[in-house]
Amino acid sequence: MRILVTGGAGFIGSWVTRVLLREGHNVTVLDNLSKGHRHLVPDDARFIQADLADAEALPEHLAGHDAVIHMAAFIEVERSVREPLLFAENNILNSVRLLDAMHKAGVPKIVFSSSATVYGTPQRLPIREDDSLGTQSNPYGASKVSTEAFVATYHQLYGIDAIILRYFNPYGPGELHDPETHAIPNFIKAALARKPIPLYWRGEQVRDFIYVEDLARAHTAVLGLEGLHYFNVGSETGTKVIDVVGHITGILGYQVEIEDLGPRPGDVPASYAWSQKLTEATQWRAQVDLREGLARTVEYYRSLG
């Protein structure tokens, strides 16, 4: 298939691109490089430096593709609170521009990168796709809920096949965000520097950490599906954050002090996925356990010096 990946120069997008190429697809990466890194795009992928805000150019970029994997978005939760209009413009309106250009260019399928944040505070665990969406505590989460609705609307209006993937907590090599807001890279970088590890809630919150290559494989697994689908993508294992720290220090072979940051508004106490719906539809399942994934991630950051 000919696949266009928006945001394919980013952390997860570059992994998705590599998996697509490995499976024999023809891949175009479209990224404005505001957050992505050109060196993360494999040489075998065609690269277009462009912005989704340029609605006039999008149909030409999209022409001839069989599907779009849409990953281009701002992700910093705290920034979304400070700059909600920016997030509405970039995450929601640019997604609608993309959908409209897909319709004009005749691209029949989209795989959308969503988030488990759409569930808000879970009403039960593990979280299932038929659980109700919760009230959002920040504009980032609201942008995912809104874009999901537009994706479903374009399916309803124009028959575009739409697969919505709700990520839980991705981690792994290649995460180069600036600023970095995700826990695992911050833990590893602090531990490698033998500095105190910053920890909210004393690390008692429970999360579902999914290795990035497993997450990337989910995007290719759903390419054969038709219609409108919603899937959780997680490891189906809830892990306390303090236990992640224990794994990291165990891999490194030494202990590091903890910097107690206290509580943080907006955090849910526990969140982990039921991903059997995706497994039943595609045979996908997570393959890399947390200890192995952390070992690979530690080695990656160690290699950066």
Mean pLDDT of the chain: 96
Stronger pLDDT, 76 or 219, i.e. the higher one: 219
Q: Which residues are known catalytic residues?
A: 140
**Cis peptide bond prior to 126, omega within 30° of 0:** yes
Span 124-142, pLDDT tens digits: 999 999 999 999 989 999 9
Span 140-195, pLDDT tens digits: 999 999 999 999 999 999 999 999 999 999 999 999 877 777 899 999 999 999 99
- pLDDT value, residue 96: 98
Provide the whole-model pTM.
0.95
Q: Other C-beta atoms within 10 Å of 21: how many?
A: 16
- In Å, how far are 32, 54, 105 from 60, measured between CA atoms? 16, 11, 7
Lowest mean pLDDT among 80-94, 208-222, 253-267: 253-267
- pLDDT value, residue 264: 83
Nearest CA among 159, 160, 182 for reference residue 172 = 182
Span 57-100, pLDDT tens digits: 999 999 999 999 999 999 998 899 999 999 999 999 999 999 99
46-81 as b/e: b if 16+ CB within 10 A: ebeebbbeebeebbebbeebebbbbbbbbbbbebbe
- pLDDT value, residue 82: 94
266 pLDDT higher than 80: no
User: Distance between CA atoms of 133 and 225, rounded to whole angstroms?
Assistant: 24
40 pLDDT higher than 90: yes
- In Å, how far are 7, 10, 17, 301 from 32, measured between CA atoms? 8, 10, 16, 25
- In Å, how far are 8, 56, 94, 185 from 37, measured between CA atoms? 9, 25, 20, 17
In the 8-state DSSP scheme, what is residue 273?
B
Both structure tokens of 167: 């990520």
Q: Cα 231–235–236 angle (5° rounding)? A: 80
Radius of gyration of the chain (CA): 19
Arch. (CATH architecture) of 2-171+210-235+277-286:
3-Layer(aba) Sandwich (3.40)
Residue 55: band (very low, low, confident or very high) from pLDDT cuts 50, 70, 90: very high
